[in-house]
Structure 1
Amino acid sequence: MMSDLTSALRQIILGNEELGRLEFLRRLQPGVPSGVTRGEFSKLGLPFPGDQLSSLYEWRNGTDSDGVKLGHIYLFPGFYMLSLEEGLASYNNFVGNERWDREWFPLFADGGGDFYVVTCSRTSSRNGKIVHFMIDEPDHPVEYGSLASMLLTMAEAYRRKIFFLDQDGYLDEDSEAFLSLGEELNQDVSWWTDSIG
């Protein structure tokens, strides 16, 4: 699965190069060593969800969001990648919220309080799964079986031109095509199969 993750990250870069998203590419921050990421999780008392997360942060430590419209730095439509430091700050801000699960660590944010989080559990079969936390909603579904599954879906959306630039130069998507792709690639996740099938 690690080679799948590496391949997905390469395709995401290629897709953004093809779209000419130079601001996004310029603002991706250099990665951090795996030991740093694992150490920060240990300080939080969170079990580490696996090598996929290490690989993500070794690839890039999020996106520099300082002084830029968030639409220009989306990794996928509506969300940008948090740095490890921003993820830690967001975790600490939300961990006391009754809707937030202590086992969730935020990876991607929309800037308005919604996140995609990775589940960090010692005992649950949900360990390593990707949950969509929506601040105004009571339910927060598992949308991807793993970080690799999520990024493979995003990479394929770039490859199939499902993601595109709108008239303002922001990353957008063909929603119907993306739903179909999500179902195709995530048959193990009921959120896709139940909501679409």
Structure 2
Amino acid sequence: MAQLFNILAPFLVACFFLVERSSASPSSRDKDEFDINESIGIIINHPLNKERPASYLLGPPLTEEEIFFTLQPVLEIRDDSHFEQLFQLYKVTDGLKTLEAEADGHPLKDIWLIPGYYLLSLREVVETLTIMTRTSDVWNPSWLPLFASRAGDFLVYDTEDGHIHEFLTKESLRWEVAPNIQTFLEGIANKLRDGRILLNENGLLEEISMDAQTHEGLEDKILDALYLSANTENTLESEILMEEENVGAPPDLYFKCQKMPNVCQNIKNAIQMNKPRLLKRIKDKNKIRQNRRLACGKSKCTGINNSCDEYPFASTSQGGAGATIMCVPLSENNSQGGQLSGFFKSKSIGNNAWFNMKSP
């Protein structure tokens, strides 16, 4: 009898959950569904996305039963308003079909539905959550990755309070971007409608500030600046810059390469191509994101558990479009992030401080 109960328990919980949801106030449910449907519809069908793989490679909608049974093994699903919004999102689309994107050889910039990110399928949400929980020292198990860059960055949904946070794995940086899924999607939709998200000359979706739109001709200057930000700084130029700033001997960074052999190989390849060992840290999250998108936007790291690694790091002034890139396992990017952030902290490497990439 006990064995039978253990077998039936998940199904009984699911039935109870779905009955509770169906008895919820129709007016409140319809309002949330309409707002999320409208917002994601604007994002998917906007002219910037409609003809791109970011839109036409999205999967079909899921049923509530499919969503529940996919998430139930990894989450304690409660009938809260923020879970309601999660359900509504995946009832519109099951996110990017990454296997097709990989088979077609699309670069990351073409699968990003919003600046720097694509919507994960629910299966990939669970797989990514499992990897991040197992391999990242700073990942919170309550975070559900909804959008990913495939370069180590995520937009996560906090299952404890429903908030949306941006998390940069390699820099161990996190901040809140919206109080819930609905507000986040509405914000993106409004920016697209208002022309505050553009496709720049590098083929990257980029957000511009409202202030920029009030200045005639500034939009073109922003695009030109993004296009010209490809970094060509080499070893000699880094040495000259450091000497001009009259700083002492910079601390040496050593990586434990046995934990991330592919990352170390990418660094070795880059240094052999005359990329600098002397690096200058930056802490501006907007610049870090821009550097990573410029570096990894052309990569084709679209497979499950693939992640674009770049050197010089996006968190340095030498990073950007000229960086050497390689597809590495996500777990290796997690290891690199832990080692790099630990080094910055232990050596007090602040903004605009120099350090030396000693290994490999």
Verify same fold: TM over 0.5.
Answer: yes
CA apart distance, 1:179: 10
Query: Normalized against structure 1, the TM-score is what?
Result: 0.79
How far is the alpha carbon of 1:77 from its aligned partner? 0.6
SS of equivalent residue, structure 1 residue 111: coil
Asked whether the 8 Å contact 1:162–1:177 carries over to 2, the reply is yes
Residues 30, 61 of structure 1: 8 Å contact kept: yes
Counterparts of 1:46 and 1:132 in 2: how far apart (Å)? 22
- How far apart, CA to CA, are the structure 1 residues paired with 2:55 and 2:112? 10
1:4 and 2:35 aligned: yes
What is the Cα deviation at residue 55 of structure 1? 1.3
| Cα distance in 2 between the residues matched to 1:45 and 1:61 | 18
- 2:164 aligned residue: 130
| 1:164 to partner: Cα distance | 1.5
Tell me the distance in 1 between the aligned counterparts of 2:92 and 2:212. Answer: 27
Shift in Å, 1:137? 2.9
Distance in 2 (alpha carbons) for counterparts of 1:134 and 1:43: 26
SS at match of 2:53: helix
Q: 2:211 & 2:122 partners in 1: Cα distance?
A: 28
- The residue type paired with residue 96 of structure 2 is T
What letter is aligned with 2:56?
A: R
- Measure how far apart 1:68 and its partner are: 1.1
* Corresponding residue for residue 141 of structure 2: 102
SS at match of 2:177: strand
How far apart, in 2, do the equivalents of 1:68 and 1:105 lie? 25
SS at match of 1:30: coil
Matched residue type, 1:143: V
Q: Say which one has the larger Rg.
A: 2
- Structure 1 unaligned residues grouped into runs of 5+: 122-126, 181-197
- Look up the SS of the partner of 1:118 in the other structure: strand
Q: State the identity %.
A: 24
Quick check: 1:71 aligned with 2:71?
Answer: no
With normalisation by structure 2, the TM-score equals 0.45
Alignment partner, residue 118 of structure 1? 157
* 2:53 pairs with 1:23: yes
C-alpha deviation, 1:159, in angstroms = 0.2
Q: Which residue of 1 aligns with 2:274?
A: none
Question: 1:136 and 1:18 mapped to 2: Cα distance?
Answer: 29
Partners of 2:89 and 2:163 in 1: CA distance = 15
* Whole-angstrom CA distance in 2 between matches of 1:168 and 1:150: 25
Q: CA offset at residue 178 of structure 1?
A: 9.0
- Alignment of 1:52 with 2:85, yes or no, is yes
One of 111, 120, 127 as aligned partner of 1:89 = 127
CA distance in 2 between partners of 1:111 and 1:73 (Å) = 10
Q: Tell me the secondary structure at the aligned position of residue 170 of structure 2.
A: coil
Which of 1 and 2 has higher RCO (CA within 8 Å, sep 6+)? 1
In structure 1, how many angstroms separate the alpha carbons of the residues matched to 2:131 and 2:117? 19
Is the Cα–Cα contact under 8 Å of residues 164 and 173 in structure 1 kept in the other structure?
A: yes
> CA–CA distance in 2 between the matches of 1:179 and 1:40?
43
